[in-house]
Structure 1
Amino acid sequence: MVTIETKIGFIGTGVMGKSMAKNLLTAGYRVNVYTRTKEKAEELISQGADWKHTVAELAQDSDVIITMVGYPSDVEEVYFGDSGILENAQKGTYIIDMTTSKPSLAIKIYETAIAKGIFSLDAPVSGGDIGAQNGKLAIMVGGDQQAFDELHPIFEVLGENIILQGGPGAGQHTKLANQITIASNMVGVCEAIVYAKKAGLNPERVLESISTGAAASFSLSNLGPRMLKGDYAPGFYVKHFIKDMTIALESAQEIGMATPGLSLSLELYKELAEKGENDSGTQALIKLFDR
């Protein structure tokens, strides 16, 4: 049973993971942390998190393990192999992969975990750096109802829109639907802002009008203003969005579905990355239009 004494292991303290782990510490949970670069975890350590030198060490000393890493290959690395989570976590441990990854990989982790008496959920999130900082992420969960119910108090610290979408892999499929929606929307936001400028309008005032009507979206309200300020700091990296869109495109192709909006957005973001914007925030897409 999850209590305030539950030890939570957190692997991955990047832009979003750092804020998520911090919120767990603030809520009073005991948190173990591991990341490949210890310096990225120093702030959390100074706030009371316990540093673990390896994935295996963290897995052996945690009741719940949350992973928030970059790519499916990173997920594979931390979960499988002799030094991975699944070989070192104790029976009865709960594992939650909150990375946006492949549905098929989520199912593989679940099936391996169940065979070892470990409970597994895939629970990717949406809301960017702001949602992570404020504990208001949307959390899309795949797995068993019992594990979902048990871990709900932890999810409530991290987000406010928490829905069990179905069995293993369902959380990842839902996140891919989320990314497909954002992909075309980001193109529209960029085009709208540049159109407003070229039409001689005040783009800030235009955003005030259109962000509360039928065109309203997170991207328009939160990333539109950053575009206007020339603020391209990453709330979500271009390189990670390309990864997400690539997984979504592959998944759509597997089910025989055409996604022209997604394909166009992926093509544009790859062009942006080639121009050196891999580590910029996704709002940097406007650079392709505003010239």
Structure 2
Amino acid sequence: MFTPENTVIGFIGTGVMGKSMARHLMGAGYPLIVYSRTKEKAEDLIEQGAAWGETPRDVALKANVIITMVGYPSDVEEIYLGENGLVNHARAGSYLIDMTTSAPSLAVKIFKAAKGLGIHTIDAPVSGGDVGAKEAKLSIMAGGEEEHVEAIRPLLNLLGTNIVYQGKAGAGQHTKMCNQIAIASNMIGVCEAIVYAEKAGLNPDSVLKSITTGAAGSWSLSNLAPRMLQGNFEPGFYIKHFIKDMKIALDEAEHMDMEVLGLTLAKKLYDQLAEMGEENSGTQALYKYWKS
């Protein structure tokens, strides 16, 4: 049983979503040690009482539960398996929870390396964007040994409202790929629907009132379409990270000899947006493809 009295939580990655997630854990009374490649991103957490870790190794030596929420599989591999990484320096019995969207094969590699050292690893990517992170309403998809997922479920409950055990190591990441595949095609539909409404001379806000609660309803339609209409393209989730996710899903689909037409088209459109300089915009900036 993890309590604030017997648990020190390390949190690596204090970006758009990670910062809110770390704040929820602090709000529940858990001592927190944070690390980010850019210390300035963690300054407000430090001012609120979090300790600063100089390196992932420093975090591993001081915490018995460590959560990572970083950018790319290459970041995950370095943080976990690098010379100064978590697996090489965490104490036996520690829990390492990667909530980054990363490659399923890497999750398996980390699991195998850690298991031999008595370290418990869980791949637990999330869905819900910046809103879900701020409101602690994330959907969390967990892979690893079920007993270890159940052990840390009370901590995950501080971050999300839908925590589902998906299976062995890598299963959480495979489930997140399903999520991203569904979002990719849906975002095309959301943008086309809004642009169609505008070209037809309709009031897009009124259109949304009708279609968000019907069969067309989706999280993206309810949460991101209004941002499009407001001209708000700030990232709840970066285009550059979505492109990374789609590349992982495409690679995995190829390994399974599966054709993914919607995903392929979506990645092509987002690649074009990135070339236009929109890689640091939110995924709702796909709307600009039709407006350019």
Q: TM-score per shorter chain, which class? A: over 0.9
How do residues 205-224 of structure 1 correspond to structure 2 at under 5 angstroms?
A: 205-224=206-225
- 1:115 aligned to 2:116? yes
Any idea what the Cα deviations from partners look like across 1:45-71, whole Å, max 9, x if unmatched? 011111011110110000101000000
How do residues 146-161 of structure 1 correspond to structure 2 at under 5 angstroms?
A: 146-161=147-162
**CA deviation after TM superposition for structure 1 residue 290, in Å:** 2.6
How do residues 11-90 of structure 1 correspond to structure 2 at under 5 angstroms?
A: 11-90=12-91
Q: Which residue number in structure 2 is paired with residue 182 of structure 1?
A: 183
Any idea what the Cα deviations from partners look like across 1:239-282, whole Å, max 9, x if unmatched? 00000000001101100100000000000000000000000000
**CA deviation after TM superposition for structure 1 residue 81, in Å:** 2.5
Amino acid at match of 1:217: S
How do residues 231-242 of structure 1 correspond to structure 2 at under 5 angstroms?
A: 231-242=232-243
Q: Which residue number in structure 2 is paired with residue 4 of structure 1?
A: 4
Q: Which residue number in structure 1 is paired with residue 252 of structure 2?
A: 251
Task: Please give the secondary structure, in 2, of the residue aligned with 1:157.
Answer: coil
Identity of aligned residues (%): 62
Q: Which residue number in structure 1 is paired with residue 196 of structure 2?
A: 195
Amino acid at match of 2:2: V
Amino acid at match of 1:178: N
Distance 2:150 2:233 in 1: 38
Distance 1:207 1:200 in 2: 14
Q: Which residue number in structure 1 is paired with residue 126 of structure 2?
A: 125
TM-score (normalised: structure 2): 0.99
Amino acid at match of 1:119: H
Distance 2:23 2:119 in 1: 25
Distance 1:66 1:259 in 2: 32
Q: Which residue number in structure 2 is paired with residue 287 of structure 1?
A: 288
Task: Please give the secondary structure, in 2, of the residue aligned with 1:160.
Answer: strand
Distance 2:202 2:68 in 1: 45
Distance 2:280 2:156 in 1: 28
Q: Which residue number in structure 2 is paired with residue 165 of structure 1?
A: 166
**CA deviation after TM superposition for structure 1 residue 217, in Å:** 0.3
Distance 1:54 1:166 in 2: 31
Q: Which residue number in structure 1 is paired with residue 146 of structure 2?
A: 145
Distance 1:42 1:182 in 2: 33
Gaps in structure 1 of 5+ consecutive residues: none
Q: What's the C-alpha RMSD, in Å, of the aligned pairs?
A: 0.6
Any idea what the Cα deviations from partners look like across 1:179-217, whole Å, max 9, x if unmatched? 000000000000000000000100000001000000000
Any idea what the Cα deviations from partners look like across 1:17-40, whole Å, max 9, x if unmatched? 010001110111111100111100
Distance 2:164 2:251 in 1: 24
**CA deviation after TM superposition for structure 1 residue 3, in Å:** 1.3
Gaps in structure 2 of 5+ consecutive residues: none
Distance 2:210 2:47 in 1: 44
How many correspondences in the alignment? 291
Amino acid at match of 1:49: A
Amino acid at match of 2:122: L
Distance 2:92 2:241 in 1: 33
Task: Please give the secondary structure, in 2, of the residue aligned with 1:289.
Answer: helix
Distance 1:184 1:148 in 2: 31
Distance 1:138 1:4 in 2: 24
Task: Please give the secondary structure, in 2, of the residue aligned with 1:235.
Answer: coil
Amino acid at match of 1:2: F
Distance 2:111 2:77 in 1: 13
Distance 2:278 2:32 in 1: 33
Amino acid at match of 1:109: I
TM-score (normalised: structure 1): 0.99
**CA deviation after TM superposition for structure 1 residue 82, in Å:** 2.1
Q: Which residue number in structure 2 is paired with residue 228 of structure 1?
A: 229
Q: Which residue number in structure 2 is paired with residue 272 of structure 1?
A: 273
Distance 1:52 1:74 in 2: 17
After TM superposition, the runs of 4+ consecutive aligned structure 1 residues lying more than 2 A away are none
